[in-house]
Structure 1
Amino acid sequence: MKKNALLMAILMISVFVLGVTLNTRIAVEANNKAVDVVLDYPEFRDMAKQSDETLSWWFEKFAGLGVEYVGLQEETLESLLLENKQLEVLMGWQLLQEADWREKYPSEVAVYVDNKEVSEFDVFVATKSKEVFDFIRHGFTSRYASEKLEILSQEEYYAILLKGTMRDALYRNNYTLVDMDLKLSSPRHKPHSSKLMQVGLGFDREKINTIQQSGLKVLARPYTYREWMSEEYLKVTFEDLEAYDMKPPVFIFSGGEVLGYPVADDMLTRYMIENDIKAGLIETSVQRSHINLDGIDLLVRSLNYNAVRVFSVWPYIQQRFGYYNYEAAEEIENTLYRAVTERNIRFIYFKPFKVDQLSTRYNQFIYITDYNAYEEMFHRFENRIADHGMILGRSSSLEPIRVRIAKQTLMGWGIVAAGVLLLNYLLKLNNKIKYGLLAAGLLFVPAGFVVRPMLMDKVMAMGAAIIFPSLGMVYFCNRCFQYIYREPKEERLYKQILYAVKDLVVISAISLLGGLFVAGILSHIEYLLEMDIFRGVKISQLIPMVLFIGVYIAYFGYKRKIHYNHQPVLSYRDIKTFLLEDIKIIYVLLGVIVLGVGYVYLARTGHETNIQASTMELIIRNILEENLLARPRTKEFLIAFPILMLGIYLAKNKIKSFVFLLGLVAVIGQTSIVNTFSHLRTPVYLSFIRTLYALLIGIIMGILYILVFEAGKRLFLKIRDIKILQ
């Protein structure tokens, strides 16, 4: 310590700044405790049709469960067709291919077609219902430029032509044509449909009344097509929101862009600021970041991050009724619980449960229409989130926390000091090189934050995620070296266990410091909202394993005898011997196994891989989650932490043979600690509790492993002695 006094001093100052930064973040997270649940109108309408009750009855029931809003999208030609309105919609080329179109439709249609060319990209709309026609006509004429449509007939058989372009066309691409020799043919297809069918026409007053008369409010979801976007559309939409008392607390945008983008997004921003409306960031189905809508990040920044993360109950989640040996909606409840407690979700777009797929082709399901199933799930869910101080209500949002460059720099200096410390343990640097590296690092950090702040914070977080678990394993190797070569053998088992517990706690504390550095230096609001993410998770789990090999060789050498007065250093001779080692078949087989295990370990990190936990493991996870405030990580408490304790126990018994392999497994637990805090959307307190649970349970499992090993060792010695006597 005396030789590294300057490094330790810088690290201590950095830790103090880290504490101040984390205190600010924790305070911000503590004020973000209200969760909103909004019902999806189309899904509940379809569910109500399968039940014995009306849609209004269902809405009234959910109003008593803490639900305040029902999400309602604007009507479109597509939605009108799906609701079986009296309506015909044809592409321009389809109209002209109908043999009797001149006789079937009003004469005005034929006159228009004869005088002006109808494009294959145009959309022809016809209806005999005046009510439907008036709604469509008002929707188009009040919102969009007159040159984009032509009203062909306004009597008896009403007709409108929407003028489309190639950019509006939608084509089928799910089939191919082949000849007799099975050679592919690529014909040019006519457009199957058009994006103009998804252009917003306004809200259905009858649906609005159904929702409002049930005691709920309308969460309006206006939507239109980018090519038809205009300030006039936004003006009419805002007037409708005011007129029907359905100004939303959160805008959840549909389509591929935010409302008004790209021609009138500033108008939307002003309206949202004036009315304190949050932007909804819809989490992707793989639970990572949010759906990328054009203009969404710019909008959130313009609103000073007045935004909320939205969890949509995706179809695969709706179908988890009676899942994982549960009788009802417990697994769906678990999914919602994880979303709000672990991922900063404060807005749930809720859809009813589904079972028994009726038709794979048409994706039709039977809904659960037992109200008790929903009531029980909501009550359990509300009670569980109450343990975290959360309530159901108007969704809260995170304050726009930012970490100033001065704080980032000071924290970065601590990471640099820790990095120099790690190199010194490996290479035994002389003072000139050691302090030269330190000076270079101290200059590089502020320069990096000034030039590329959003890159530099990731670089420093990556450094912390690699350096501190590696320092923890330096401590592991140091203690094992001391126990094996320099300290007398400890005969008493309970003291061996105490040493193992103590060393596990110290090593984990070092790694925990790395996790806290990641959580502190990446405390910017964009990370908490997952507008930006820390992409170094997998590599920060791999590199410490490689570094551990170097640390182990530095302490124990490679194929050479170690004396008690050996000074640990990674020597050229050890590296050369290692690199020039004759490769035996057994080494290759072991390498393949290690690589396979490593791949599975890294691939299972996250939700974007087909390699997932087994059903049994998921059931065990659920049991832990239901009984603890945070579910500890299985690989920590069941494998890595107990294995580390077993390694210390063997070292205390002067058994060196398995220290390397056990240490290699133990690294997984230390990198996992940092990985827990690298999930920046998770509140710091929850990550800390999760790690603490894993450590406590891991200690218990470690003691059990040691006792089993000790019993096995004594049994082996007893059998050996009996054979000798015989």
Structure 2
Amino acid sequence: MSKQKWLWGIVVLLLIIASPGIMMRWNAEQSNNSYEIVIPYDEIQTVNKESDLTMDKILSSLKDAGLTTVSLEPLSLKEMEHQGLISTYNESELAAQLRFTPYKGAVDVNKGGYYISVPEDASYQQLIKDSIQPEEVQIGDESFYFLPSSNHRYDLKTPLGYDKLAMDMINKHDLSLIFKVENATNKVANEKIVKQLLELKDSSAGRLLGSGTEAIGFGQNSGNAMVEKLSKAGYYFYTIESNPLKGEDKIAKSTNYNMIRLHSINVNRETKLKLNASIDRTTRAVKERNIRSIFYHIKTKGNAEKNLAETIDYLTGVQKQMPNHFKSGTPELFDVVAVPTWVTALVLLAGILFTYLMSELVKWMPLRIAAVVFMSALAIGYFLLKSTIFLQAFALIIAVMAPTFAVIKAAKGSTRIASILVQYLKAVGISVIGIVIVIGLLNGNAFMTGFEAFKGVKLVYVVPIAGVLLFVMLELNRIVDQDLKKTLSNTVTLLNRDLKYWHVLLLIVVAGIGLFYISRTGNSGSVSNAELAFRQWLENILYVRPRTKEFLIGFPFFVLALYVMGINRKWGSILLVPGVIGFLSIVNTFTHLHIPVAVSALRTLYSVSLGFVVGLVFILIFKIGYRFISKAIA
């Protein structure tokens, strides 16, 4: 016992000494409190075209409501035609139009390509000339640019460059500018876009948002050089949450993960999304997921002025609901979180000792030693090969074992509330040690921006439940013995017993609870409208809501399990199975490494506190029910 206390003390001491690593992440997250709301320029243009409102009026009203940034896509010939700036004809179309004019035969139909009317504004003329370098053709009094089919570098959809008149309009209203960049099919077009971006770089335009499915330069030999030029010029890139582009991970690594996390709200695709839900989603993304840019789409169907009014309501609603410590403006990059090697080494050592302590659940010493050797091998592998996969494997093992061990170690029943509280805090403490090891290892800008992640989230949901269920079965049947042969004999005896109907019924109930539980995990879990409303109410009051499965299911059942075990250990131990849900869930909360540490810590504090109180209510209900049943039987 004394040896164990010393080992626990060493684990805690190692984690305290290694705490500067986690504090670096904490400070980086807390100091990064600026966010922006972005609206695409083409959707603002649509409102202008479909209403009597001027661009100046629209941009002024949006800025007054809280708009900070406008995104601008590069023009293509197709987009210029869509805006009415030019007209394009292939050789057959133009020849057909000239058929009954004096210029019949002026178009060589055997020479394929596109004839492009010359735009009125000189800046658009220059854009076309600088990019596609067309032939100039005169047909009567009309001038055309000719893009031959033999020009494989450009077609109607190839990006040419950015609209300077649009940029002037955006700058006029003192709004920040994001350039959207897509990956052209050839490097020449990409290089010309990069050249223009380098010329346009200033304090109001320093961010690049990928468009399409590929990052600029993806699949091209000069791709890395393009990104390097843009990065050196002061540009930084966005990453769209849940929608990464091909090649984006390479950009992230080459720029030391200087990326801004962006969340898109598209009411044109999500047609059932209500205004309040959009506002809630925005504030939650900013405060809970390190999102610093919200890309909002104006509705394109229906009355344009009503759509603009709804957008203004959204912007003002976000300003009112966003917590005060977040400021609307230009998003900033995270400070560099470079965890020293010695910090990682101390956390790994703490994890190895923690593994040895947890392995006391296994009575066979060779297996305990093997567990420690395996964890040591992962640690050594990381330092030799510098591969994150070793840290991720190490963290996964800690994450699945910590809640399992916490529940089993603290499974000492009592009918005294003080004793129950001690065991409850012991289980929480063990889980917290596991959490600190996990976030201490998986730390840095790659994890904060979401390019690296904890691997094995589903295992954290399943393995602890299976582990505690196995413990309960062993506890109920007294299978485990210090002697391995005796343990095997007990197991064979259990397997030879007759199966009772109540065994099947219990299995069905457990399976039903399991299916319900799994259906609620992850981002696609099913939740009723009433529960959604309850969740939002909690969030409005508490800043972040505690998880329902923690404070209403897991922790209360664990508290009740300890009480019932004080009366009947076997029956009470069954309640440990739902009881472990609370502990595995708080570990899982911290494995979402793009969520700020402060948010996860506050959420866990709420869950642990409220969960114990609800657990006391469970005990009260149990006492009343127990007395009622006892009297009925008597």
- Smaller-chain TM-score bracket: 0.7 to 0.9
Mean CA deviation greater in 443-452 or 151-160: 151-160
Q: Is 1:125 equivalent to 2:114 in the alignment?
A: yes
Partner Cα distance (1:303, 1:595) in 2: 48
**2:526 equivalent in structure 1:** 612
In structure 2, what residue type is equivalent to 1:381?
V
Q: Is 1:293 equivalent to 2:264 in the alignment?
A: no
- Give the conservation status (yes or no) of the 8 Å contact 2:183–2:215: no
**1:601 equivalent in structure 2:** 517
Structure 1 residue 371, shift from structure 2 partner: 6.7
Structure 1 residue 433, shift from structure 2 partner: 6.2
Match of 1:682 among 555, 577, 595: 595
Partner Cα distance (2:125, 2:55) in 1: 28
Partner Cα distance (2:391, 2:227) in 1: 29
Structure 1 residue 621, shift from structure 2 partner: 1.1
| 1:24–1:663 Cα change, 3 Å | same
Listed one character per residue, the Cα deviations across residues 359-400 of structure 1 (whole Å, up to 9, x for unaligned) are xxxx8455673777555544553454434x221111111123
Mean CA deviation greater in 156-165 or 529-538: 156-165
Q: Is 1:460 equivalent to 2:460 in the alignment?
A: no
Partner Cα distance (1:372, 1:528) in 2: 36
**1:429 equivalent in structure 2:** 364
**1:176 equivalent in structure 2:** none
Aligned ranges 1:348-427 → 2 under 5 Å = 348-352=294-298, 354=299, 364-365=301-302, 369=306, 374=311, 377-387=314-324, 389-425=325-361, 427=362
- Give the conservation status (yes or no) of the 8 Å contact 1:511–1:674: yes
| 1:10–1:96 Cα change, 3 Å | farther
Q: Is 1:70 equivalent to 2:70 in the alignment?
A: yes
- Give the conservation status (yes or no) of the 8 Å contact 1:528–1:681: yes
Mean CA deviation greater in 531-540 or 505-514: 505-514
SS in 2 for 1:394: coil
**1:103 equivalent in structure 2:** 99
Partner Cα distance (1:704, 1:104) in 2: 91
**1:359 equivalent in structure 2:** none
Structure 1 residue 684, shift from structure 2 partner: 0.5
Partner Cα distance (1:35, 1:152) in 2: 49
| 1:577–1:532 Cα change, 3 Å | farther
- Give the conservation status (yes or no) of the 8 Å contact 1:558–1:577: no
**2:571 equivalent in structure 1:** 657
Match of 2:257 among 296, 305, 310: 305
In structure 1, what residue type is equivalent to 2:332?
S
**2:173 equivalent in structure 1:** 214
Listed one character per residue, the Cα deviations across residues 519-549 of structure 1 (whole Å, up to 9, x for unaligned) are 2211121111111222211012211112113
**1:180 equivalent in structure 2:** none
- Give the conservation status (yes or no) of the 8 Å contact 1:198–1:224: no
SS in 2 for 1:315: coil
Structure 1 residue 410, shift from structure 2 partner: 2.5
Structure 1 residue 586, shift from structure 2 partner: 5.7
Mean CA deviation greater in 263-272 or 15-24: 263-272
Count of residues paired in the alignment = 630
Listed one character per residue, the Cα deviations across residues 633-660 of structure 1 (whole Å, up to 9, x for unaligned) are 0111111111111111212233632431
Aligned ranges 1:502-651 → 2 under 5 Å = 502-554=422-474, 556-558=475-477, 571-580=487-496, 582-583=498-499, 587=503, 590-591=506-507, 594-595=510-511, 597-607=513-523, 609=524, 611-651=525-565
- Give the conservation status (yes or no) of the 8 Å contact 1:538–1:602: no
**1:24 equivalent in structure 2:** 24
SS in 1 for 2:477: coil
Partner Cα distance (1:200, 1:263) in 2: 19
**1:191 equivalent in structure 2:** none
Partner Cα distance (2:423, 2:483) in 1: 19
Match of 1:204 among 144, 163, 186: 163
Structure 2 residue ranges without an equivalent (≥5): none
Structure 1 residue 38, shift from structure 2 partner: 2.1
| 1:340–1:568 Cα change, 3 Å | farther
CA RMSD of aligned residues (A): 3.5
| TM-score, scaled relative to structure 1 | 0.77
Listed one character per residue, the Cα deviations across residues 451-488 of structure 1 (whole Å, up to 9, x for unaligned) are 252101101110111111011111233x13xx4xxxxx
Partner Cα distance (2:48, 2:144) in 1: 33
In structure 2, what residue type is equivalent to 1:249?
G
Q: Is 1:315 equivalent to 2:267 in the alignment?
A: yes
Q: Is 1:448 equivalent to 2:367 in the alignment?
A: no
Partner Cα distance (1:400, 1:669) in 2: 33
SS in 1 for 2:215: coil
| 1:397–1:215 Cα change, 3 Å | closer
Partner Cα distance (1:568, 1:27) in 2: 52
Partner Cα distance (1:517, 1:613) in 2: 32
Q: Is 1:226 equivalent to 2:161 in the alignment?
A: no
Identity, in percent, stands at: 22
Structure 1 residue 263, shift from structure 2 partner: 4.7
SS in 2 for 1:131: coil
Match of 2:606 among 686, 689, 693: 693
| 1:78–1:546 Cα change, 3 Å | same
Structure 1 residue 596, shift from structure 2 partner: 5.0
Partner Cα distance (1:217, 1:8) in 2: 53
**1:35 equivalent in structure 2:** 35
Partner Cα distance (2:582, 2:610) in 1: 13
Listed one character per residue, the Cα deviations across residues 552-607 of structure 1 (whole Å, up to 9, x for unaligned) are 345x24277x9xxx989993234334555555566556545544543453354332
Q: Is 1:705 equivalent to 2:618 in the alignment?
A: yes
Partner Cα distance (1:616, 1:397) in 2: 38
- Give the conservation status (yes or no) of the 8 Å contact 1:408–1:457: no
Mean CA deviation greater in 523-532 or 223-232: 223-232
| 1:443–1:589 Cα change, 3 Å | same
In structure 2, what residue type is equivalent to 1:645?
V
Structure 1 residue 663, shift from structure 2 partner: 1.0
SS in 2 for 1:11: helix
| 1:276–1:579 Cα change, 3 Å | farther
Q: Is 1:347 equivalent to 2:335 in the alignment?
A: no
| 1:718–1:645 Cα change, 3 Å | same
**2:131 equivalent in structure 1:** 143
| 1:666–1:529 Cα change, 3 Å | same
Partner Cα distance (1:399, 1:549) in 2: 44
| 1:698–1:367 Cα change, 3 Å | farther
Structure 1 residue 219, shift from structure 2 partner: 2.9
Partner Cα distance (2:135, 2:515) in 1: 60
Partner Cα distance (2:211, 2:451) in 1: 18
Partner Cα distance (2:186, 2:262) in 1: 27
**1:279 equivalent in structure 2:** 237
Listed one character per residue, the Cα deviations across residues 224-264 of structure 1 (whole Å, up to 9, x for unaligned) are 5132535750464136525xx68522111223333345354
| 1:599–1:151 Cα change, 3 Å | farther
SS in 2 for 1:201: coil
Structure 1 residue 448, shift from structure 2 partner: 3.4
Q: Is 1:673 equivalent to 2:586 in the alignment?
A: yes
Partner Cα distance (2:228, 2:417) in 1: 64
Structure 1 residue ranges without an equivalent (≥5): 119-123, 169-194, 285-289, 324-328, 355-362, 484-489, 491-495, 722-726
| TM-score, scaled relative to structure 2 | 0.88
Listed one character per residue, the Cα deviations across residues 332-378 of structure 1 (whole Å, up to 9, x for unaligned) are 111111111111111222223x4xxxxxxxx8455673777555544
